[in-house]
Amino acid sequence: IIPLHMAFLLVSAYLLLTHAQGAPAEHGALLETLKSQVGLFSNKSEHYSAQVRPPGTSRQIPQTIIIGVRKGGTRALLEMLDIHPNIVVAATEVHFFDWDENYVKGIDWYRSLMPFSYGNQITIEKTPGYFTSPQAPGRIHDMNSSIKLLLILRDPTERVISDYTQVYYNRVESHKPVQLFEDIVIKNGALNTKYKAIQRSLYDVHMEKWLKHFSLDQIHIVDGNTLIKDPLPELQKVERFLNLPSRIMSSNFYFNQTKGFYCIRSDGRERCLHESKGRPHPLVNNTVLEQLYSYFREHNAKFYRMVNHSFDWH
Ligand code: A3P
């Protein structure tokens, strides 16, 4: 068994090597970003995203949006919900409510990016950037004040490390210099609280903005740590929140030892998430970890009070 940090180093070394030798075009950063955004497609999504409209279907504005958080497990949640026959999902991250250049294109542009659906199906899109966007809550409320929102969160420190890991790989792939996690997170001996990845993990700060526009019962929080360990119960809670019949079964999941994560079995196919999901993390210095845990502790406590629910975070 290779420890995670060793795997991280090995993969990094491999990436540097392939680039030094002139990596093939398909290893390009842009493509990787796209692939990581898309994650995987199911037969159902491919079918409904098709340009040709199947009879009896139309494109609908989402009745539910996965608003984040980045690296919380948003792709896994979307793909797992896509198993449900009454759910169709947008294939890519739309960034309608958080990017001004998309928002000005208007609601018809937004709808045009949604898959075709039947009357008994709900459309879901996920854009993890919405959770931390100052504009997204108000804009989503303007579109549909009674919308149901899904938010998937994981331990804030783990999320920071996952965020760092994603940026690390993207930088390696586009030949940009990389820094050690500790060198970014600690500046002049103190925690660098301006680091964007740390800011994104301040769940209380972001949640406060959403609760100015939506009531708590409109926002269902999925425990991203639990979704990794045991996906079905978390998905059943979402089915109930969306008032959908229970259709996702334990037989829809199998644990893939090589990937170290649950993969999906549906439509007669078995598939794991893209390789950019579930990557090994670097081994982080214990003192730095403790500094992060203690920084987030107060924010977490405030968040628990805000949502009347505690999580098993450090
Ligand atoms: P890591 O790659 O850091 O482990 P997002 O899709 O929001 O970017 O979240 C990515 C995270 O989803 C991964 O972070 C991984 O931990 C988590 N995840 C949850 N369930 C997963 C699954 N079944 N397969 C792969 N990754 C999963």
Tens digit of each residue's pLDDT (9 = 90 or more) over 58-105:
999 999 999 999 999 999 999 999 999 999 999 999 999 999 999 999
Active-site hit among 44, 71, 126, 148? 71
- Model confidence at 257, pLDDT cuts 50, 70, 90, reads very high
pLDDT of 124 > 70? The answer is: yes
In 3D space, the residue among 267, 140, 272 whose CA is nearest the CA of residue 213 turns out to be 140
Supply the mean pLDDT for the chain. Answer: 89
The rounded Å distance from CA 277 to ligand 1 centre is 5
Q: Which of 37-41, 117-121, 210-214 shows the lowest per-residue confidence on average (mean pLDDT)? A: 37-41
Residues with CB under 6 A from ligand 1: 70-76, 128, 162, 165, 227-228, 261-262, 273, 277-279
Question: Looking at residue 33, what is its pLDDT?
Answer: 36
User: Would you say 74 is a known binding-site residue?
Assistant: yes
User: Which residues lie below 8 Å from residue 62, measured CB to CB, with a gap of 6+?
Assistant: 90, 114, 122, 123, 124, 125, 147
Question: Whose alpha carbon is nearest atom 17 of ligand 1?
Answer: 73
Pocket test for ligand 1, best of 151, 152, 163, 277 (most atoms within 8 A of CB): 277
Ligand 1 center from residue 259 Cα (angstroms): 11
Give the C-alpha separation, 80 to 152, whole Å.
13
DSSP code, position 281: P
- Which residues are CB-neighbours of 47 under 8 A, at least 6 positions away? 54
- Residue 268, marked binder: no
Q: How many CB atoms are closer than 10 A to CB 113?
A: 17
| pTM, full prediction | 0.89
First vs last Cα of the chain: how many Å apart?
Answer: 26
Question: Do residues 193 and 295 make contact, with C-beta atoms less than 8 angstroms apart?
Answer: yes
**According to the annotation, is 75 in a ligand binding site?**
yes
Query: Separation of 51 CA from ligand 1 center, angstroms?
Result: 29
pLDDT band, very low/low/confident/very high, at 27 (cuts 50, 70, 90): very low
Closest residue to atom 16 of ligand 1, CA basis: 278
What contacts 295, CB < 8 A, 6 or more positions away? 191, 193, 198
More confident residue, 51 or 262: 262
Residue 32 · residue 173 · CB < 8 Å: yes
CA count, 13 A, side-chain hemisphere, 97: 26
41-307 has which fold?
A: Rossmann fold (3.40.50)
* Residue 279 in marked binding region: yes
Strand partners, 125: 65
Q: Tell which atom from ligand 1 comes closest to the C-alpha of 39.
A: 6
The domain ranges of the chain are: 1-40, 41-307
Dist CA 28 CA 82 (whole Å): 28
pLDDT at residue 51 in the model: 73
Residue that has been written with the tokens 């940009």 in this structure: 176
165 pLDDT band, cuts 50/70/90, is very high
* pLDDT of 45 higher than 80: no
Ligand 1 midpoint to CA 73 (Å):
4
Half-sphere exposure in the Cβ direction for 45 (13 Å, CA): 22
Decide if 71 is catalytic.
Answer: yes
Pairing of strands 64-68, 148-153: parallel
**Per-residue confidence (pLDDT) for residue 49, from 0 to 100:** 56
Strands 87-89 and 122-126, sheet pairing = parallel
Q: 182-204: per-residue pLDDT in tens?
A: 999 999 999 999 999 999 999 99
pLDDT confidence of residue 18: 38
d(CA 144, CA 5): 45
pLDDT for 129 beyond 50: yes
- Chain position carrying tokens 């109930």: 240
Q: What is the mean pLDDT of residues 34-58?
A: 62
Phi-psi region of 308 (alpha: psi -120 to 50; beta: other; left: phi over 0): left
If you measure from the C-alpha of residue 74 to the centroid of ligand 1, how many angstroms do you get, rounded to a whole number?
Answer: 7
- Residue 284: closest CA among 139, 154, 182: 182
Nearest CA to ligand 1 atom 4: 278
Work out which ligand 1 atom sits closest to the CA atom of 224: 19
21-30, 70-79, 242-251, 274-283: segment of lowest average pLDDT: 21-30
Q: What does each C-alpha distance from 197 to 33, 194, 225, 279, 309 come to in angstroms?
A: 18, 8, 18, 17, 24
